[in-house]
């Protein structure tokens, strides 16, 4: 297996992390990890079987009592050390993430890795601040309080677009709250999740608290979701797969958290700063080659600014440098795979029949031809109900459409099944404020698009799912609240017993 690439040596012991050690999968089926910038296979591994999932769940269940019973301070200490180990390995993590995903090294170095370190440090602090209603004598005769308890062993599934950050978003709130976890990353990007789990162990998170199974969605994934010893499923990925995961989880009455697709609108009112909006639209649509669930995908621009906005976006897109992801001068890398690139090209080619491709709409030739590259693409003239406006393309493609009244701009923004993120661009606080209230999405930016922070929740409305990643709100997903009620009267015959005993003495 493999071909002498350093990634192969790094994971020679296997690509499953179960009970604190790397080991090989046992499915008998292999999966290549391909550098999408070159098409070169950098690692080949054996996928997890159902038996590997069972072993990971067993390890997580075994680790649960001690980890759930640790004090918040003990868990917090381990997470603080964990953040330190990740920071020490920043370069290795950034490099591996760039190679397995094709992300520009500038993005992994300045966004993926520091974001993950910060998230880890955030949950180290948050572990000691689980919130609940104060204890009190709400009935008059009893003292009531809530206990916030871990759910048990969590089974999580992640996508390929931000493998390290998605591992962090799934693992950190779960373990900070005292759960143990089995995570299944996307099969094409298995490596940084393993490095994340190894760093946790090195920081003192006990073996079995974090387990990684790298297996196929249809077998290892479904087996994990349906596993009777898993108490909760947290899934990030497409809405189509989310529906299937929900069906399986519902059958076994599991707690469910779904972070699904997005189709973020970008609404530019006619008093906006066009230069700021154009820069925001280009950066917000091209980040991670557009493979971002919150990426700006549909820009609605009020008629007076429309022409200037389209011209500015086209000019800026032409300045974006495609190149080797490991070169710090590269702005845009390839898509995650040739398959994804062809999928994106298919969307654009079908749109050509009824819309205008202003710039891009093709793969570059020359040195980049062997990689999964696709040029930044700007489309105008598409119908609101067309595929390119309604469906998640997940590539470096921005559609721009005009609108006339503020009402129309907001209606168009809300007119897809998705509701993950949106932005409104205006210098009028009342217009922007209205957009923040009326756009149905889990996040609305004003005069920006993309920034995320550990302290604030991330999650969808509508077909983008339910539940929150990051922030203290994620503890609502990863804990269950128990009401404890003590009688304070010591009276044998309580008033409310009249409902049964009537007025009998
Ligand atoms: P995907 O839905 O194809 O796969 C996601 C994960 O599900 C992978 O690990 C895959 O192996 C697994 N899977 C596939 N079939 C399965 C099944 N039948 N049962 C259980 N697991 C299964 O998504 P993707 O292509 O990897 O990622 C892109 C999608 O993820 C986009 O739709 C994007 O919007 C979404 N996403 C959402 C968020 C968010 O926070 N809402 C964040 C990142 C990505």
The answer to whether residue 128 sits within a structural domain is yes
> Ligand 1 centroid to 337 CA: how many Å?
15
239 and 115 assigned to the same domain: yes
Mean pLDDT of the chain: 97
Cα separation, 235 vs 159, whole angstroms: 9
Tell me if 361 sits within 8 A of 382, measured CB to CB: no
C-beta separation of 279 from 255 below 8 A: no
pLDDT at 4: 54
Residue 439 and residue 373 in one domain: yes
Predicted confidence (pLDDT) at residue 266 exceeds the cutoff of 50: yes
Is 237 touching ligand 1 by the criterion CB < 6 Å? yes
417 lines ligand 1 (CB under 6 A): no
Kindly report the CATH number assigned to the domain that includes residue 238. Answer: 3.40.605.10
Q: Is the CB of 169 under 6 A from ligand 1?
A: no
| 142 and 158 within one domain | yes
Q: Are residues 471 and 425 in the same domain?
A: no
- For residues 207 and 95, membership in a common domain is answered with yes
Site to substitute for ligand 1 among 29, 165, 220, 237, most atoms within 8 A of C-beta: 237
What is the rounded distance in angstroms from the CA atom of residue 363 to the CA atom of residue 66?
53
- Determine if ligand 1 sits within 6 Å of the CB of residue 336: no
Query: In the prediction, which pLDDT does 15 show?
Result: 97
- Whether residue 86 sits in one domain with residue 233: yes
Q: In the structure, what pLDDT confidence band is assigned to residue 259 with cuts at 50, 70 and 90?
A: very high
In a domain, 176, yes or no: yes
Q: What is the model's pLDDT at position 194?
A: 98
Residue 103 is encoded by which pair of tokens?
A: 């992300």
Do residues 232 and 363 both lie within one domain? no
Let me know if residue 504 belongs to a domain. Answer: no
Residue-wise pLDDT for 121-161, tens only, equals 999 999 999 999 999 999 999 999 999 999 999 999 999 99
Strand stretches in 134-275, DSSP E: 142-150, 153-157, 180-184, 210-212, 232-236, 255-259, 264-268
Say yes or no to pLDDT of 86 above 50. yes
CA atoms within 13 A on the CB side of 406: 17
Express each pLDDT in 204-252 by its tens digit: 999 999 999 999 999 999 999 999 999 999 999 999 999 999 999 999 9
Q: Is 495 inside a domain boundary?
A: no
Report yes or no on whether pTM surpasses 0.95.
Answer: yes
- 301-316: pLDDT as tens digits: 999 999 999 999 999 9
pLDDT at residue 3 is higher than 60 = no
Q: Is 457 in the pocket of ligand 1 (CB under 6 A)?
A: no
Q: Is the pLDDT of residue 334 over 90?
A: yes
**Which residue, judged by its Cα, is nearest atom 18 of ligand 1?**
218
Question: How far apart (Å, rounded) are the C-alpha atoms in residues 290 and 395?
Answer: 4
Q: Are residues 312 and 186 in the same domain?
A: no
At residue 5, the pLDDT reads 75
In a domain, residue 493? The reply is: no
pLDDT at 454 over 50: yes
Counted domains in the chain: 2
Given the structure tokens 């190679």, which residue do they identify?
99
Residue 346 reports pLDDT greater than 90 = yes
In a domain? residue 236: yes
Convert the pLDDT of each residue in 350-365 to its tens digit: 999 999 999 999 999 9
Domain with residue 382: its CATH number is 3.40.309.10
β partners of residue 155 = 182, 233
Judge if 427 and 468 occupy the same domain: no
Residue nearest to atom 31 of ligand 1 (CA): 238
Same structural domain for residues 184 and 121?
Answer: yes
Which residue is closest in CA terms to ligand 1's atom 20? 221
Q: Are 403 and 375 in contact (CB under 8 A)?
A: no
The question of whether 293 is a catalytic residue gets the answer: yes
148 belongs to a structural domain: yes
Range(s) of the domain holding residue 399: 264-446
217 lines ligand 1 (CB under 6 A): yes
Is residue 236 located within the same domain as residue 269? no
Q: Which atom of ligand 1 is nearest to the CA of 420?
A: 41
Residue 455 lies in a domain: no
Q: Which atom of ligand 1 is nearest to the CA of 469?
A: 40
| Same domain as 322, residue 237 | no
Whole-number pLDDT of residue 505: 80
């Amino acid at each position: 297996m493999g071909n002498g690439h350093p990634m192969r040596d790094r994971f020679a012991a296997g690509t499953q992390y179960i009970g604190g050690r790397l080991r090989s999968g046992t499915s008998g089926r292999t999966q290549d990890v391909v550098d999408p910038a070159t098409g070169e296979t950098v690692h080949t591994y054996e996928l997890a079987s159902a038996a590997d999932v069972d072993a990971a769940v067993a390890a997580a269940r075994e680790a649960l009592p001690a980890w759930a019973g640790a004090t918040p301070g003990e868990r917090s200490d381990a997470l603080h050390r964990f953040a330190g180990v990740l920071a020490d390995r920043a370069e290795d993590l950034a490099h591996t993430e760039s190679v397995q995903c094709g992300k520009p090294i500038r993005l992994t170095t300045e966004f993926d890795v520091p974001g993950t370190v910060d998230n880890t440090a955030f949950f180290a602090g948050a572990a000691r601040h689980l919130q609940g209603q104060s204890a009190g004598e709400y009935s008059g005769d009893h003292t009531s309080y809530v206990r916030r308890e871990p759910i048990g062993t969590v089974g999580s599934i992640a996508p390929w677009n931000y493998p390290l950050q998605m591992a962090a978003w799934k693992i950190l709130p779960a373990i900070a709250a005292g759960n143990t976890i089995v995570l299944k990353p996307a099969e094409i990007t298995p490596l940084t999740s393993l490095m994340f789990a190894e760093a946790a162990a090195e920081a003192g998170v006990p073996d079995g608290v974090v387990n990684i199974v790298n297996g196929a969605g249809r077998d290892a994934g479904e087996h994990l979701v349906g596993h009777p010893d898993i108490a909760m499923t947290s899934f990030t990925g497409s809405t189509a797969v989310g529906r299937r995961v929900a069906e399986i989880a519902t059958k076994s009455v599991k707690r469910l958290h779904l972070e699904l697709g997005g189709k973020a609108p970008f609404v530019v009112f006619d008093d906006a700063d066009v230069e700021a909006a154009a820069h925001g639209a280009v950066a917000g649509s091209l980040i991670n080659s557009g493979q971002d669930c919150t990426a700006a995908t549909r820009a609605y621009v009020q008629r007076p600014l429309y022409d200037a906005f389209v011209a500015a976006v086209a000019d800026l897109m032409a300045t974006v440098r495609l190149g080797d992801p490991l070169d710090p001068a590269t702005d845009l890398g390839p898509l995650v795979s040739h398959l994804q690139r062809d999928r994106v090209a298919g969307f654009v080619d079908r749109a050509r029949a009824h819309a205008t491709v202003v710039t891009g709409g093709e793969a570059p030739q020359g040195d980049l031809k062997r990689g999964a590259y696709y040029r930044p693409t700007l489309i105008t003239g598409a119908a609101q109900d067309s595929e390119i406006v309604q469906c998640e393309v997940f590539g470096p493609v921005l559609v721009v459409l005009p609108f006339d009244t503020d009402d129309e701009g907001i209606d168009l923004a809300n007119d897809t099944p998705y509701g993950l993120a949106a932005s409104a661009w205006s210098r009028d606080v009342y217009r922007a404020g209205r957009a923040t209230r009326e756009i149905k999405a889990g996040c609305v930016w004003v005069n920006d698009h993309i920034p995320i922070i550990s302290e604030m929740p991330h999650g969808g409305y509508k077909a983008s799912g339910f539940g929150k990643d990051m922030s203290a709100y994620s503890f609502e997903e990863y804990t269950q609240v128990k009401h404890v009620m003590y009688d304070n009267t010591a009276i044998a015959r309580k008033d409310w017993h009249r409902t049964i005993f009537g007025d009998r003495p």
